[in-house]
Amino acid sequence: MTSNAEHAPEAPRQVDLDKPSSARIYDWYLGGTTNYVVDQIFGEKADRQFPLIKPLAMSNRQWLGRVVRAALDAGIRQFLDLGSGVPTVGNVHEIVREHAPGEEARVVYVDYEPVAVAHSEIILDRQGITKWAGVVRADLRDPEDIFASPVTRKLIDFSKPVCVLMVSVLHFVGGGDDVPGIVARYRRKLAPGSWWAASHITTDDAPAEGAAQISALAESYRNTQNPAWLRDRAEFESWFDGMDLVPPGIVHLTDWRPDAVETLFPKLKAESVRPFYWAGVGQVRE
Ligand SMILES: C[S@@+](CC[C@H](N)C(=O)[O-])C[C@H]1O[C@@H](n2cnc3c(N)ncnc32)[C@H](O)[C@@H]1O
C-alpha cells in the first residue's frame, strides 16, 4: 500500500479555517467541541464514508490510556506525547494523575496544530499543573527542535526512561518524509528502558467493504491540512528496528492488553473496529 511522492504539508503557522484539520476532526469524532464548521462538515462526510470512524477513534484513545497505564506500571514516569491533538478526554496527564496519584511524573505534549496547542495550554494552566506538564508547538518531523525546546528541557530528563507516544499520528507523515529515520532520531535520544508506542490505521485484515471505505476516507484527507497514508503491517513493524517489542508485540490495537472494563467510552463495541489499526510498543535496548 501507500507512499506516493507528495510531501506532508508544512506545519501550519496559524489557525486555518479554510481547510479541516486532523486535530479538530478527531476531536469531533470523539464528541469534543473544539472544532469548527469546516471540521464538522468533513466529520459528517467521513462518518458517511466509513461509519466505524467514530468508534475507531474512541478505540484508539482507549489504547493510548492502556499504554500510559502500562508504562506507569513498568516504572516510567516521563511522557512525550507527539501529535497529542486537542485535549478532549483521556489525556495523558489525567491518566497519570489517576493511575499514579502522588507520584512525581512529567508530561510534554507536542502538536503543530495551533488550536490543539492553545487548548492544551489553557487546560494545563487551569488545572494548575504547569510545574509537571507542558506543551510544545512543533512538528514531530523535527525531533531536535522538540529536544531543544525550553519546555522539554525543563520537564524531560533524557538520561532516564521516557515513554514516547506517536498515537494515530504517523499516518499523517508520509510521501517524501523518512518515517523510519524520524523514529530512529527519537530512539537514539532515549535512555535504555524507554518505550516508543505507535498506532497506525491499516486495511490489512479488513473486510473488503471496510477496506474500500477507509481507502476512500484516506483520499478525502488529501483535501485537509493533513493528507493521510495507509500502511501495512510489514512497514509498520520495520519502524521498531533497534527495539524489543513489549508483549503482546504488534497486534490490532483492540488486542493490546485489553482491559476487562474500560472506563473511557465504556459502551464502545471495540470488536467491530478490530482490523483497522496496528499498534505496538518498543522498548529501547541497553
Ligand atoms: C488523529 S490526532 C491523534 C491525537 C492523539 N495522539 C490520539 O491518538 O488520541 C493526530 C494529531 O497529530 C497532529 N499531527 C499530525 N502531523 C503532525 C506533525 N508532523 N507534527 C506534530 N503534530 C502532528 C495533528 O495536528 C493531530 O492533532
**184 C-alpha vs ligand 1 centroid, how far in Å?**
19
Ligand 1 — pocket residues by CB below 6 A?
22-23, 26, 60-61, 64, 83-85, 111-113, 116, 139-141, 167-169, 172-173, 226
Reduced to 3 states, what is the DSSP secondary structure of residue 182? helix
Q: Which of 110, 111, 146 to mutate to test the pocket of ligand 1 (most atoms within 8 A of CB)?
A: 111
Q: In angstroms, what CA-CA distances link 126 with 20, 35, 120, 121, 150?
A: 27, 20, 10, 8, 21
Summarised one tens digit per residue, pLDDT across range 147-174 is 999 999 999 999 999 999 999 999 999 9
Length of the chain as a residue count: 286
Summarised one tens digit per residue, pLDDT across range 244-267 is 999 999 999 999 999 988 999 999
| Contact assessment for residue 213 and residue 264, using Cβ atoms and an 8 Å cutoff | no
Strand partners, 250: none
| Contact assessment for residue 32 and residue 206, using Cβ atoms and an 8 Å cutoff | no
Q: For residue 6, is pLDDT > 70?
A: no
Alpha-carbon gap, residue 187 to 125, rounded angstroms:
30
**30 C-alpha vs ligand 1 centroid, how far in Å?**
14
Q: For residue 270, is pLDDT > 90?
A: no
| Contact assessment for residue 206 and residue 276, using Cβ atoms and an 8 Å cutoff | yes
H-helix or E-strand spanning residue 180: helix 179-189
Q: Which of 29, 139, 169, 186 to mutate to test the pocket of ligand 1 (most atoms within 8 A of CB)?
A: 169
H-helix or E-strand spanning residue 203: none
Q: For residue 8, is pLDDT > 80?
A: no
Per the structure block, which three cell numbers stand in for 22? Answer: 486532523
Q: What is the mean pLDDT of residues 212-217?
A: 96
Q: Which of 22, 119, 186 to mutate to test the pocket of ligand 1 (most atoms within 8 A of CB)?
A: 22
**22 C-alpha vs ligand 1 centroid, how far in Å?**
7
Rg (CA), the chain: 17
Within 10 angstroms of residue 138's Cβ, the number of other Cβ atoms is: 22
Q: For residue 2, is pLDDT > 70?
A: no
Domains of the chain and CATH, by start: 22-284 (3.40.50.150)
